[in-house]
Amino acid sequence: MSEVEFNNQLTDEVKISPEAMNQLAAIVDQEAGASGIRIYVSGGGCSGMAYGMTLVEQATEFDAVLKTEKLNLYVDSIALGYLSGVEIDYKTEGLNQSFVFKNVFAQTGGSGSCGGCGGAAPAGGGCA
């Protein structure tokens, strides 16, 4: 049986706008011991997968990393399958500021409803 080698270097699987990069770098710079940002996925219920970001102190053996001048971006090998092609941007609208994930879960997202989640549903409805 041959061994499969894990490519731990990201190239263009995840894209980050210059504004998002600046904001993330500023966050990492403010946290002692942080080496970068991890993008993760979770869930998979009625609304499909959810995504988020958190600070990272050190990479794991399952991480792929995008190394830039400003910060390191980490994505574990399973999440990468769901995040490939995502674009992360940073938007300011009035007083609101937020990171925006574009094209995320285009192939895997949920419908946003379950047809009776948490209640009595006809056969075949509800959430598992």
Residue 121 lies in a domain: no
**Residue 49, domain CATH:** 2.60.300.12
Residue 117 lies in a domain: no
Residue 120 lies in a domain: no
Contacting residues for 5 by C-beta, under 8 A, at least 6 apart: none
Question: For residues 39, 44, 48 and 53, what is the CA-based torsion angle, rounded to 10 degrees?
Answer: -20
Number of domains in the chain: 1
Residue 124 lies in a domain: no
Residue 85 lies in a domain: yes
Cβ atoms of residues 65 and 73 within 8 Å: yes
pLDDT digits (tens, 9 = 90+) for 37-59: 998 888 766 777 778 899 999 88
Q: How much is the pLDDT for 105?
A: 56
Residue 89 lies in a domain: yes
pLDDT digits (tens, 9 = 90+) for 76-98: 878 887 887 888 899 999 999 99
pLDDT digits (tens, 9 = 90+) for 106-125: 554 444 445 444 444 444 44
Residue 112 lies in a domain: no
Residue 127 lies in a domain: no
Q: How much is the pLDDT for 49?
A: 74
Positive/negative CA dihedral, 42, 104, 69, 6: positive
Q: Residue 48 belongs to what domain range?
A: 14-102
